[in-house]
Structure 1
């Protein structure tokens, strides 16, 4: 900043620096979380990739969802999701059954093996989150959750 800059210029520069620092923190946290989640996934010996693990998580949270629901949630195309669901089905982690109201539509749910794997993965993710939030009190955790949801909404997700 030039010498003798006025208070408005100094305040603007401080705001820009604060925004840049916040973006850097977000970037670093995303990469750190993804790397540690990937490492935990590799260590469990399941052989699942990150997208397969996310799909299992979604189906666990939304039993009876469809491939189209998974397409919309993941932002992936129909062909990618169809292959992914087929792979999970072949591995015995997901089962598909026809929707009684629309026989063309298949509803997804986890098999017992898929549920067991999902429980182990959820536990690893919780351990990672606990490390990241170790010194946060309940109010801070609640505020962070609210703020992250607002950021996601504002970003269009």
Structure 2
């Protein structure tokens, strides 16, 4: 049997979905001790750390999550002490999200866990293959 036959039979969407689920499980295990849960909470925290003063609506758009997931994740991060909400002076009905000192101190740990996850995922690839994979995934990324 030709090894290339396997690649043609396995749908790309299924492979990407499997990789995503595996990475989410790994990250949930690795970040659970820090009160960072599933649902991509680390993505929200990292975005707030890199763009202090963002809104939930902006996070929803930037990270491509639905509003309910964003609201749930923001609430959990706030309860865990990683972020705080402040009333938007330009729109009293809206809140701006800021990282706390706890979040800022946690950033190196978060980045280490994310780097380890990526290293584990690509451990059997050459540097050239990693670059090619990144380029191909960027090329097919769906912006729906």
TM-score, with normalisation over the residues of structure 2?
0.74
Unaligned runs of 5+ in 2: none
**Cα gap change, 1:64/1:143 in structure 2, threshold over 3 Å: closer, same or farther?**
farther
- Say whether residues 1:132 and 2:132 are aligned partners: no
Whether 2:37 is the aligned partner of 1:49: answer yes
Matches within 5 A, 1:102-121: 102-121=91-110
1:16, distance to aligned residue in structure 2 (A): 7.7
CA distance in 2, matches of 1:84, 1:133: 28
Following TM superposition, by how much is the alpha carbon of 1:125 offset from its aligned partner in structure 2, in angstroms?
1.4
Counterpart in 2 of 1:38? 28
- Secondary structure, in 3 states, of the residue corresponding to 1:65? coil
Once the two structures are superposed, residues 95-132 of structure 1 have per-residue CA deviations (whole angstroms, 9 ceiling, x without a partner) of 22233433333211211101223431221110121222
> 1:106 is paired with a residue of what secondary structure?
strand
C-alpha distance after superposition, 1:78-107 (max 9, x if no partner): 5x5334323322332102223343333321
Q: Give the gaps of 5 or more residues in structure 1.
A: 1-14
Larger radius of gyration: 1
Q: 1:84 aligns with which of 73, 83, 86?
A: 73
Q: 2:88 aligns with which of 95, 99, 109?
A: 99
Closer, same or farther: CA 87–20 of 1 in aligned 2, 3 Å? same
Q: Distance in 1 between matches of 2:71 and 2:51?
A: 17
Q: How many residues align?
A: 138
Q: CA RMSD in A?
A: 2.8
The residue correspondences of 1:9-28 to structure 2 (distance < 5 A) are: 18-21=7-10, 23=12, 25-28=15-18
- Normalised TM-score (structure 1): 0.69
